[in-house]
Amino acid sequence: MNKNHKRNKRIKLCDGKDYVTQDMYIGILSGEEEHRQEFAGFLKEYEK
């Protein structure tokens, strides 16, 4: 089980119960995904 899967599970657990924590998890996951995409772009350019 990877980190994102665990965070997605936490987001679902918070749904309807703790919107602040849910929003925090969504923000963290979004930031990580953005960073991963940026890194993949740099890596692709580097491999050329």
Q: What is the pLDDT of residues 1-48, one digit of tens each?
A: 676 677 788 889 999 999 999 999 999 888 888 888 888 888 888 886
Model's pTM, two decimal places? 0.64
Measured in degrees and rounded to the nearest 5, phi and psi for residue 13 equal -65, -35
Q: Which amino acid is at 19?
A: Y
Looking at residue 24, what is its pLDDT? Answer: 92
Q: Are 2 and 9 in contact (CB under 8 A)?
A: no
What integer pLDDT is reported at residue 42 of this predicted model? Answer: 85
Model pLDDT, residue 1: 61
CB 14 within 8 A of CB 23: no
Determine the pLDDT at residue 22.
Answer: 92
Q: How many CB atoms lie within 10 A of CB 29?
A: 16
